A and B are shown apart, each in its own frame.
Chain A
Amino acid sequence: MMPKTALLLGALGATAALVAIVPQAPSAGAVNPAAIQIDNFHYSPAMLVVAPGTTVTWTNDDDSPHSVREKDGKFKSAALDTDDKFSQTFTAPGEYEYFCSIHPYMTGKIVVKPAGS
């Protein structure tokens, strides 16, 4: 994908319409991943903006277990041990605040909004 994109950009310059088409070529879904590390009792990044259809994966890098729980229960993980992962795909635009049910002072936020909006 990359060389082709570069070629298009190089050949046609900053033609917005063409650039926008490139990421839509593959079907939506798992091609649009985003990662959050849990490190030293923090979600990193603590705030993440993603486009609808993005799958966000949390990975616990700590010696302590942590979890990911949306504040109204829209999604939640079980306890994640060291190196465990949890993924959630966001389709509906909006703001999703979440916290760790084991250490509730740990909080994070996912903002889902269409690209360019």
Chain B
Amino acid sequence: MADHDEGGLGKKASINRRGLLKCMAWAGTGVLWSVSGGVPRSLGLLGEAAAAEQKSGGFTFLQISDSHVGFDKPANPNALGTFQEAIAKINAMPTPPAFIIHTGDITHLSKDKEFDDADQAMKALKQKVYVIPGEHDVADADNGKAYLDRYGKGTKGKGWYSFDYGGAHFIALINVFNFEPGFKSAGLAKLGDEQLEWMEKDVKGLSASAPIVVLAHLPLWTVYQEWGWGTEDAPRALGYLKRFGSVTVLNGHIHQIQQKVEGNLSFHTARSTAFPQPAPGSAPAPGPMKVPAEELHSVLGVRTVNYVPGKSPLALVETPLGA
């Protein structure tokens, strides 16, 4: 893990110039984000993020993802346990993040008991938790009723919504309901027309200088088509965001860190708090990856994001559970 320094993103101002940044690690607890000068950056360590935030008068928020509560297979016999550990780590942070986002796959099988356990675990968090579903959260026979009954209040359509915090605009998109089955296509996720029309209106009145943070479970860029790791109509969504100076896309789903920067757009996938998945194409299928028990905590984690008013990008801090 030492050779992977996602925290470097915030320090390397030249990243946008390079046009593309791609790096990877197996998994993590969550990601700390700092929003500064309208642009989210990830920071190196939780302590650093907090320091940067205090200096600048910005704020931090934290991303957790893919907790898969209910999973109990050899790759992690106690996914609820590692989720609780991640939450305990968040609560121990010297400067608590302003709020938490969970980018989906809260549960493993959309069962009521799993949602109950996850909710109970998240009750320990002092901050508001913004959630979106992963495909594992809408896998009940009623097409997501279990999720929407619980988390759909006050949202639009099939659970999408937006909110503002500290001058940044957050858009929570849902791309787990309209999958294009892979009969003739790649089997990618879809946002769907209704949501895209809503999104177009949602951002219409915003100033181009407003930092935009987009949340979605599946990546909004095609990480690996053969495994369905992408969203077919994401280009249309990103088109509505072209005029903005800073757009940060935060995804889950693939249980590992991948990043890409294209001009003002930056894409980041997060680690899982439950189990790692193989790098694209490195295994016959994208199932849970078993690592030696003593290594599991190093591949799970959380991400903190730091917002500092100014001109630098949002800063991300990856914190492995084992750190």
Contact = CB atoms under 8 A, between A and B. Distances in A.
Contacts of A79: 109-110, 136, 139-140
Contacts of B183: 71, 97, 99, 107
B117 interface: no
Most buried by A among B139, B187, B227, B287: B139
Contacts of B181: 71, 97, 99, 104, 107
Interface residues of B, number: 29
B263 to A, nearest CB: 30
Interface in A38-91: 40-41, 62-65, 67, 71, 76-79, 81-82
Interface string A90-112: 00000001010111111100000
A65 B139 contact: yes
B75 interface: yes
Given A81-B109, A105-B186, A67 B139 contact: yes
Given A79-B136, A99-B181, A64 B287 contact: yes
Contact of B141 (A78, A82, A103, A105): A78
Contact of B136 (A62, A76, A82, A102): A102
B187 A104 contact: yes
B182 A107 contact: yes
Contacts of A41: 284-287
B31 to A, nearest CB: 24
A115 to B, nearest CB: 27
Nearest to B135: A102
A105 B182 contact: yes
B38 interface: no
A85 B104 CA distance: 26
A19 to B, nearest CB: 37
A105 B228 contact: yes
A74 to B, nearest CB: 13
Contact of A40 (B188, B189, B285, B288): B285
Contacts of A97: 181, 183
A63 B73 CA distance: 7
Contact of A64 (B187, B189, B288): B288
A81 B68 CA distance: 13
A62 B288 CA distance: 10
B110 A78 contact: yes
B226 to A, nearest CB: 7
B303 interface: no
A29 B155 CA distance: 45
Contacts of A63: 73-75, 287-288
Contact of B187 (A65, A76, A77, A105): A105
A44 to B, nearest CB: 13
Interface in B159-189: 179-183, 186-189
Contacts of B226: 105
A105 B285 CA distance: 11
Given A67-B139, A79-B136, 14 more contacts: A40-B285, A63-B288, A76-B141, A78-B141, A79-B139, A97-B183, A101-B179, A102-B135, A104-B180, A104-B182, A104-B187, A105-B187, A105-B227, A107-B183
14 contacts: A40-B285, A41-B285, A41-B286, A65-B136, A71-B181, A78-B139, A78-B140, A97-B181, A97-B183, A99-B181, A102-B139, A103-B228, A107-B181, A107-B183
Interface of B: 73-75, 108-110, 135-136, 138-141, 179-183, 186-189, 226-228, 284-288
- The 6 A-B residue pairs with the shortest CB-CB distance, nearest first, are A105-B187, A79-B139, A105-B182, A41-B285, A99-B181, A104-B179
